[in-house]
Amino acid sequence: MNNLLMVAFIIESVIIVVMLVAFFWLVRGQMKIKRDYQVLNDVVHGNCNDIAGLCSAALSVDSRIATVDNRIAVTDEQIDDLAAKIAEVEQNDQSSHPYSGDIRKVRSGASVNELMQNSGLSHDEAALLIRLHGSKTQP
């Protein structure tokens, strides 16, 4: 009986040792998982902060782009208005100037004789128009 009790005691001791080893192994694994969880939690928190920063920057850039688009639209309107005014002024200048047709002929390369024959200008008038409005390469 003593022998049987001793065998039971050894078996119980081995089981307790195995259970203690398994317990320490599980505690160590749980601590490793806890550290990994903390590292992953820090990474996720950092990514959330980065995403929030990027969203904020995107909103700022979007508002700047909207401001620039508005400025471009206003500038386009101003350019259109100025172009209309310039065209109006040029039209008024050309229609009110008595020599506007002759000046166009000079710019297209008309000679003194052509101006005298077609426009009824004197030699001095035709020469003066060519000197004032002719190309720089003409004598």
pLDDT (tens digit per residue) in 40-63:
999 999 999 999 999 999 999 999
Q: Within a 10 A sphere around the Cβ of 115, how many other Cβ atoms?
A: 22
Residue spans of the domains in the chain: they are 2-96, 98-139
User: Distances in Å between the alpha carbon of 41 and those of 44, 53, 59?
Assistant: 5, 18, 27
pLDDT at 83 over 80: yes
pLDDT band, residue 137 (cuts 50/70/90): low
**Higher confidence at residue 39 or residue 91?**
39
Separation of alpha carbons 83 and 6, rounded Å: 113
